[in-house]
A and B are shown apart, each in its own frame.
Chain A
Amino acid sequence: MAPSAVFDTDQIKDKARKDLLYLLEGVPGKKNLVIEKALAGPIGIFVKFSTLQDYGVDKVFLLENGNADVSQQNVVFIARGECAKHAQSIADHIKRMQRESQTAHEFSIFWVPRRTLVSEKILEEAGVLGDASISEFPLYFLPLEKDVLSLELDDSFSDLYLRKDPTPTYILARALMLVQQKHGLFPRITGKGDNAKKLADLLARMRQELIAGEDTSEGNKLGLTPSTTIESLIVIDREVDYATPLLTQLTYEGLIDETVGIANNQADVDSSVVGAAPQPAPGSSKTVGAAQAQGKKRKIALDSSDKLYHQLRDTNFAITRAKSTAELRDFVNKLPGYQAEQQSLKIHTGLAEEIMRHTRTEQFSRLLEVQQNLAAGADPSSQHEAIEELIARDAPISEVLRILCLESCIAGGIKPRELENFKKMILQAYGYQHILTLDALEKLQLLLSRTSPMATMIPISSSVATTGTKTNYTYLRKALRLIVDEVNEHDPNDIAYVYSGYAPLSIRLVQCILQKQYLASITRGGSANNTASVATGGPSQGWKGFEEAIKHVRGQTFDEVQKGEDKAVKARALLTGSGEKKTVFVVLLGGITSTEIAALRFIAKKEEARKQIIICTTSIISGSRIMDVAIEKGSLGKSNTT
C-alpha cells in the first residue's frame, strides 16, 4: 500500500463526487434538488448535471430563489451547516411545501460539511426537524486545478477579519486533517500570523483527539505517523499581507478576475464580448451552475483543460497584450485544428480585447501608477493629489478605497489630518452611508490613522524586536527585496513579474520558508548541499537575515515538527525509499489572489524536480472583493427594496 508519491487532487474530486452520489442514492426515487446558491458553483465543478440526472435528480433549484416546486415527492436540500440563515430558509421551504401540496413529501437535508447545533435548533424551533432526514456531506477542499485546493467559502474573509468568526479556520483544519489521515502527518508545520497559529493549534488538538478516540489498530496508526511523501505545511495568514491583494493584479487570469470576476473557475462574460454561446458540444462543460444561468451573460469555464488558457493564465498581461490577435491566431493554427481550440481562441481574443479596453483607460493607468508608487515606497503625500482627482472624477469607490487602504497598510497608517480630509471627501462623493464602510475598514485594520493605537505599534527602529503586531513594509521592502526593478515580463526570472515589479510579500515568505528547509537539510547531511545553493532564486542571498525579517511581519510565528514513533518512521522511509518528489502544502488562510497563485506556480516550476506544491486556501479573493466586504450597499433616504 505505497501511497503515490505525487499528491493527486483528482482523488479529492472523485471522493466528493462519490460522497454526493452515495447520499443521493440513499434517497429513493425521483427527487428535486434545492441547492444553496454559494454551493451550486462548487458542486458544478465536480459533478455534471447529466450525472445527477442519472441518479434520479429531476430539477435543480437555488435555495435563495425560494421557487422550488412540488413536482417531485422527494426534496433534497444541500446547504452549509454553519449558516443560520440557510437553515431558516430551508425550514420555510419545507413548511411552504407542506402547505401547498396534498401528497406527503420526503425531505432530506445534506449539511455541508457538517451538521451544527445552530441549524438543528432552528429546524427544531420551526417544527420541521422531525420531517426531514438529515445527513452530512463532507465537502471540504475543492480542487479548482491540479495544484489548487479551495474551500470556496465566499465569506471567509469577512468571517475571519471583520466578524472574527473562526469557522473558516476550523473547517480548514478539518480539511487538512483529512489529508493527514490519508497521507500521514505533515512532518513540519511552519506559519506566520495569528490565525495561522490557531490553525496549527487546532490541528495539534485534533490529532490528540484522534489518538485518544481511536483504538490502535494498524490501519489507523498509519495516519498518525509523519508522512514520507509530504514535506511540510506552510500556513500564511492573510492578515500578514493585506497590501498584496489590494494591488491591481496584472496576470491574465488576475485581470479577468479584476474586470469581470471569476467564481468557481467560471466567469460571467457579456456575450457581446466573446460571441454567443456555442452549441453545447459533446463533452463541453455543461454544469449545474451553467444550466441555470442563461440570457445575456455567458458562463465561461476557465481551467487548464483549455490549453490556450493554461498557457496564458499566469503570464503578465503585458505579454498577452504584446501578442497581437494575429499572433494568437498563428499560435492556434500551429496546433492541430481542433474545434475546441478555435473556440477558445475566439473567447480569449475577445476577453483580451475587453481587458485591453479597460487597461487603456486613463483611470486605470492612473490607479496603477499610484499603486506602484506606493508599493515602491514613494512618499504617500505625493500621491494624494492623484487620489483626490480620482474622487472628484467619480472613480468607483472600491478603487479609491483600495488605494487608501494600500497606503495605510504600507505606510503604517495615514496622517490623521489627511485621513480626515479623505474621509470627508469620500462621504461627500459617495454618500454618507459610507460612514459604516469606513468603520468596517477600520475594524479590518485596513484603513488607519497614524495616531491610532493599532498603527503606532509598528516598531520604528529595528531594535524593537518583539513579535510584530503589524507588518512593516518599509523594512521588508529591503530585507526581502519586494521591489525588483529590472523585471523581465516576457521571460520571468522572479516572482515579481506578476505585479510588474512588486513581489507579493505573502509569497516571498513562502520562499523564505522553503529555503529554511534547505538550511535544515544542510545541517543534517551534506547531500542536500547543492540544492541549497540553487534555491528558489530571488532573495536567495538574503536568507540568513530571514529570522530578523520575519519579526517585522505581523502576527505570531511558529515552526513545529510533528514526530511519530521513530521505528515506524524509519520503516516507512525504508519502504518508500528516498529521493522521491515530496509535496509541500502552502495554505493561505483567508484567501489567495489568482496572481499569488501564479507566483506560487512560478516557484513550483523552479522546484519541479524536487517538490510538488499544492496550494490550499479558503477562497479566491481580490482587492475589490475585500472592499465589497466593507462597503455599505444601501443609501440614505432611498427606500431599500432589497
Chain B
Amino acid sequence: LFVREALKQPESRSSADKLTLAAKLISDSKETSFEHKALLEASTLLKMQEAFDRDLTEEFVGLSVNETLFQLIKGGYTNRAKKVQSEFKVPEKIFWWIRLRALVSARTWSELEDL
C-alpha cells in the first residue's frame, strides 16, 4: 500500500504526492470510493497545514483535522478555522465541542461567553 510509504516520507510534500498516487490507484474501483475520498482529503489537509506552518507560529503538519481546528481556535485564528471546517465538512456539533475545548484551554473567557 502506498499509504505506508507516504507515512515514511519525512517531507510533507513528498508524502502528499504519494497520497495522490495512492488515491489514483484505487480510484478505479467502486468499493474503495470511501478510501479514495479520504486520501484526497488527507492530501488537502497536508497542503493546508503547510500553508499554516508558513503563516503562523504554531506547527500544524501531522495533526488531524480536529487537532488542527483546535490549534487554530486556540491561537485565535477563528476565520481560518471556519475555512477548515467548511473544507472538510466537519459537523457543527463536533466543531462546537472543539471550539469549547480550545477556548477553555486558551482561557479566552470573553469569547466563551459569546457562544
Contacts from A to B (Cβ < 8 Å): 388-389, 391-394, 420, 423-425, 427-433, 435-436, 439, 632, 634-640
CB-defined contacts of A436 to chain B, threshold 8 Å: 1, 3-4
Q: List 15 A-B contacts (CB under 8 A).
A: A392-B93, A392-B94, A423-B34, A425-B94, A427-B64, A428-B90, A429-B65, A430-B64, A431-B63, A432-B41, A435-B39, A436-B3, A439-B35, A634-B7, A636-B15
B77 interfacial by beta-carbon distance below 8 Å: no
Instruction: Tell me the smallest distance from the CB of A23 to a CB of chain B, in Å.
Output: 40
Are A640 and B35 touching (Cβ within 8 A)? no
B71 interfacial by beta-carbon distance below 8 Å: no
Are A637 and B38 touching (Cβ within 8 A)? no
Are B66 and A429 touching (Cβ within 8 A)? yes
Instruction: Tell me the smallest distance from the CB of A638 to a CB of chain B, in Å.
Output: 3
CB-defined contacts of A391 to chain B, threshold 8 Å: 94
**B90: nearest residue on chain A (CB-CB)?**
A428
CB-defined contacts of B16 to chain A, threshold 8 Å: 637
A636 in contact with B38 given A428-B88, A430-B64, A432-B64 (CB within 8 Å):
no
**A426: nearest residue on chain B (CB-CB)?**
B64
CB-defined contacts of A632 to chain B, threshold 8 Å: 7
Are B90 and A420 touching (Cβ within 8 A)? no
CA distance A636 to B49 in the complex (A): 11
Name the prevailing secondary structure of the B interface residues.
helix
Contacts from B to A (Cβ < 8 Å): 1, 3-4, 6-10, 12, 15-16, 19, 34-35, 38-39, 41-42, 45-46, 49, 61-67, 70, 88, 90-91, 93-94, 96-98, 101
CB-defined contacts of A638 to chain B, threshold 8 Å: 61-62
CB-defined contacts of B94 to chain A, threshold 8 Å: 388, 391-392, 425, 429
CB-defined contacts of B49 to chain A, threshold 8 Å: 637
Are B62 and A635 touching (Cβ within 8 A)? yes
Further pairs besides A394-B66, A423-B38, A636-B7: 19, Cβ < 8 Å: A388-B91, A392-B93, A392-B94, A392-B96, A392-B98, A427-B38, A427-B42, A428-B64, A429-B65, A429-B66, A429-B94, A432-B39, A432-B41, A432-B42, A436-B1, A634-B7, A634-B8, A635-B7, A636-B6
Instruction: Tell me the smallest distance from the CB of B5 to a CB of chain A, in Å.
Output: 11
CA distance A549 to B34 in the complex (A): 37
CA distance A640 to B6 in the complex (A): 11
Of B62, B66, B97, B101, the residue contacting A428 (CB under 8 A) is B66
Are A394 and B101 touching (Cβ within 8 A)? yes
Are B7 and A427 touching (Cβ within 8 A)? no
CA distance A637 to B1 in the complex (A): 16
Query: Which 4 pairs show the lowest CB-CB distances between chains A and B?
Result: A638-B62, A432-B42, A392-B97, A428-B65
CB-defined contacts of A393 to chain B, threshold 8 Å: 97, 101
CB-defined contacts of B35 to chain A, threshold 8 Å: 435, 439
Are B41 and A427 touching (Cβ within 8 A)? yes
Instruction: Tell me the smallest distance from the CB of B93 to a CB of chain A, in Å.
Output: 7
CB-defined contacts of A428 to chain B, threshold 8 Å: 64-66, 88, 90
